[in-house]
Amino acid sequence: MTARLDEKLEPIFQDVLRRNPGEVEFHQAVHEVLETLGPVLVKHPEFAERKIIQRICEPERQIIFRVPWQDDNGEIHINRAFRVEFNSALGPYKGGMRFHPSVYLGIIKFLGFEQIFKNALTGLPIGGGKGGSDFDPKGRSDAEIMRFCQSLMTELYRHIGEYTDVPAGDIGVGGREIGYLFGQYKRITNRYESGVLTGKGLSYGGSRARTEATGYGTVFFTQEMLKARGDSLEGKTVVVSGSGNVAIYAIEKAHELGAKVIACSDSSGIIVHESGIDLDTVKRIKEVERRRISAYTEFHKDAKYVEAGNIWSVPCDVALPCATQNELNGTDAATLVKNGCIAVAEGANMPTTPEGIQIFQSAGLAYGPGKAANAGGVSTSALEMQQNASRDSWSFDFTQKRLEEIMINIHRDCFETAEEFGAPGNYVLGANITGFIKVARAMDAMGLI
Ligand code: NDP
Ligand code: 2IT
């Protein structure tokens, strides 16, 4: 942890450390928010008096359960799954499910904590939650994925609902998994409750533009940050980490807006293609064939694959981390700055370490933190809930337009809040304070909850 906390906030953080031992990602996420809340307590002493921050740091409910399942050879596996229902002041708990072997309670709590403020920033009526499992989907057949999802939902169904908690996708959970989860929910409950999950397929209540929303939203946010500096994405060189859902659609929108994406990656290595990443190839490899990104060079002989390469060493104007937490450290940030990078927007959740953030901020480049820059995904999930509630289905263009407006508004709110609190251009402070005040006001109005 880099920056020191305000004297009112340090004891709150110490308490979080004591009550949540070993959950380092959760500590990091809480610290990053607390670092910026000092001036809010000066302006709103009632929030300190009524211990709003202490309450926000404690999830409303944490569910941990066993998920037994059988692989295609009949072997039995036991996984652990989580749903952390963090805060419902603004609406039903809302947030994705992550399937990745690194998942443990500390990861789900960091993601759930971030989600509270992100969801508040969207201006839509959604609380914050997150879930997932230490299940590793890599190399598993469709039948194995289905059995795992059905087993998980056989417990999860009792905790969720359109007015209670609405899960969606995250790492390792996309359209296929949401389909299996929804099918099992419908079967167990005997209800066609479309609004219980988002990220659904278009044939059974999904929203157009939800698949694209997070990546597109991150690029809309980047465009707004550049506009605020009298610049644009036109003609810029971009590097995008990851090659999953968020990365793919960030690349697509960056290309549409006239930028050139020259590198992407997966957890094995990086692809550098100076003439521009061919997205059809990435989609084929990742969305259809479910292979490693190294396969890209089979289709493009002029592209280079570097096993375990560092994507942040590729010179660029704009960097979009779209893979995972803490994927960009202080050394990487210094390299990006040295190479002339002017903007960084986070498609992933908490991809930049505290040291990295500090380097970006002191270099004065445009830095958009995940809870603002990747809020397009959950925003469009909320639009999916709206369509489900009104039994309607909107066009792609209409939904995308709404997404763009939401991202423009989030940028404006963060920008103006940063100015109001005397930190112009500091989107971290702007996002944290804007999100916090919305949640704090709602909690305060509801009494001691
Ligand atoms: P996907 O599973 O579709 O893709 C994840 C990508 O990141 C893959 O390329 C994966 O590589 C890479 N990756 C994952 N974990 C690691 C790791 N430990 N080290 C290196 N690379 C890794 O997930 P999404 O695209 O949905 O999610 C990416 C990020 O965006 C996450 O931080 C997620 O929380 C965030 N996010 C997602 C939203 C959504 O709507 N999906 C909304 C907002 C944020 P490999 O295949 O090799 O594992
Ligand atoms: O981190 C996130 O915002 C997501 N994974 C999307 C959550 C959602 O409910 O759409």
pLDDT confidence of residue 439: 98
Q: What is the pLDDT of residues 354-391, one digit of tens each?
A: 999 999 999 999 999 999 999 999 999 999 999 999 99
This prediction's pTM? 0.98
Boundary (domain end) residue, out of 193, 223, 248:
193
Instruction: Report CA(46)–ligand 1 centroid distance (Å).
Output: 39
Q: Looking at the predicted structure, is the pLDDT value of residue 57 above 80?
A: yes
From atom 21 of ligand 1, which residue's Cα is the shortest distance away? 267
Q: Is the CB of 96 under 6 A from ligand 2?
A: yes
Give the mean pLDDT of 232-259: 98
Say which residue the tokens 């960084």 belong to.
344
Candidate from 325, 350, 381, 385 with most ligand 2 atoms within 8 A of CB, to mutate: 381
Q: Is the CB of 95 under 6 A from ligand 2?
A: yes
Q: Looking at the predicted structure, is the pLDDT value of residue 42 above 60?
A: yes
Same domain? 70 vs 145: yes
Instruction: Report CA(87)–ligand 2 centroid distance (Å).
Output: 15
From atom 3 of ligand 2, which residue's Cα is the shortest distance away? 378
From atom 47 of ligand 1, which residue's Cα is the shortest distance away? 267
| Residue 97 included in any domain | yes
> Which residues neighbour 318 within 8 Å (Cβ) at sequence distance 6 or greater?
222, 233, 236, 237, 238, 239, 254, 259, 341, 342, 343, 344, 345
Q: Is the CB of 210 under 6 A from ligand 2?
A: no
Same domain? 98 vs 170: yes
Q: Give the amino acid at 241.
A: S
Confidence of residue 94 (pLDDT cuts 50, 70, 90): very high
From atom 7 of ligand 1, which residue's Cα is the shortest distance away? 323
Question: Could you tell me the residue range of the domain that residue 43 belongs to?
Answer: 10-56
Same domain? 329 vs 300: yes
| Residue 418 included in any domain | no
| Residue 416 included in any domain | no
| Closest ligand to residue 129's CA | 2
CATH number reported for the structural domain that contains residue 315 in this entry = 3.40.50.720
Buried/exposed 296-305: b ≥16 CB within 10 Å, e otherwise: beeeeeebeb
Same domain? 72 vs 31: no
| Angle CA 297–323–231, to nearest 5 | 90
From atom 9 of ligand 2, which residue's Cα is the shortest distance away? 95
Same domain? 152 vs 224: no
Let me know if 283 is a catalytic residue: no
Indicate which residue of 130, 236, 260, 286 is catalytic: 130
| Residue 298 included in any domain | yes
| Residue 225 included in any domain | yes
As a whole number of angstroms, the distance between CA 146 and CA 187 comes to 14
Q: Is the CB of 186 under 6 A from ligand 2?
A: no
Q: Is 118 annotated as a binding residue?
A: yes
Candidate from 249, 324, 379, 410 with most ligand 1 atoms within 8 A of CB, to mutate: 324
Q: What is the pLDDT of residues 19-38, one digit of tens each?
A: 999 999 999 999 999 999 99
Q: What is the pLDDT of residues 269-310, one digit of tens each?
A: 999 999 999 999 999 999 999 999 999 999 999 999 999 999
Same domain? 350 vs 227: yes
Identify whether the C-beta of residue 261 lies closer than 8 Å to the C-beta of residue 239.
yes
Boundary (domain end) residue, out of 310, 342, 368:
368
Query: Percentage of the chain surpassing pLDDT 70?
Result: 99
Candidate from 100, 115, 371, 386 with most ligand 2 atoms within 8 A of CB, to mutate: 115
**Number of domains composing the chain:** 3
Same domain? 225 vs 293: yes
Q: Is 245 annotated as a binding residue?
A: yes
Instruction: Report CA(124)–ligand 1 centroid distance (Å).
Output: 24
Same domain? 39 vs 130: no
Q: Is 169 annotated as a binding residue?
A: yes
pLDDT confidence of residue 4: 77
| Residue 49 included in any domain | yes
As a whole number of angstroms, the distance between CA 67 and CA 239 comes to 38
Instruction: Report CA(371)–ligand 2 centroid distance (Å).
Output: 10
Q: Is 214 annotated as a binding residue?
A: yes
Boundary (domain end) residue, out of 341, 368, 395:
368
| Closest ligand to residue 282's CA | 1
Instruction: Report CA(240)–ligand 1 centroid distance (Å).
Output: 12
Give the mean pLDDT of 320-325: 98
Pairing state between β 343-345 and 318-321: parallel
Same domain? 363 vs 228: yes
Instruction: Report CA(170)–ligand 1 centroid distance (Å).
Output: 7
Same domain? 347 vs 230: yes
Give the mean pLDDT of 215-230: 98
Instruction: Report CA(274)–ligand 2 centroid distance (Å).
Output: 32
Same domain? 219 vs 362: yes
Instruction: Please state, in angstroms and as integers, the Cα–Cα distance from residue 384 to each residue in 137, 219, 290, 377, 392, following that order.
Output: 26, 21, 26, 11, 9
CATH number reported for the structural domain that contains residue 97 in this entry = 3.40.50.10860
pLDDT confidence of residue 2: 57
From atom 31 of ligand 1, which residue's Cα is the shortest distance away? 348
| Residue 216 included in any domain | yes
Candidate from 135, 267, 327, 371 with most ligand 1 atoms within 8 A of CB, to mutate: 267
DSSP line for 222-250: HHHHHHTTT--STT-EEEEE--SHHHHHH
Closest alpha carbon to 61 in 90, 83, 80, 29: 83
Say which residue the tokens 């000092």 belong to.
38
Q: Looking at the predicted structure, is the pLDDT value of residue 346 above 70?
A: yes
Measured from CB, residues less than 6 Å from any atom of ligand 1 are 96, 169-172, 174, 214, 242-247, 266-268, 322-324, 347-349, 374, 377
Same domain? 295 vs 173: no
As a whole number of angstroms, the distance between CA 167 and CA 199 comes to 9
| Residue 440 included in any domain | no
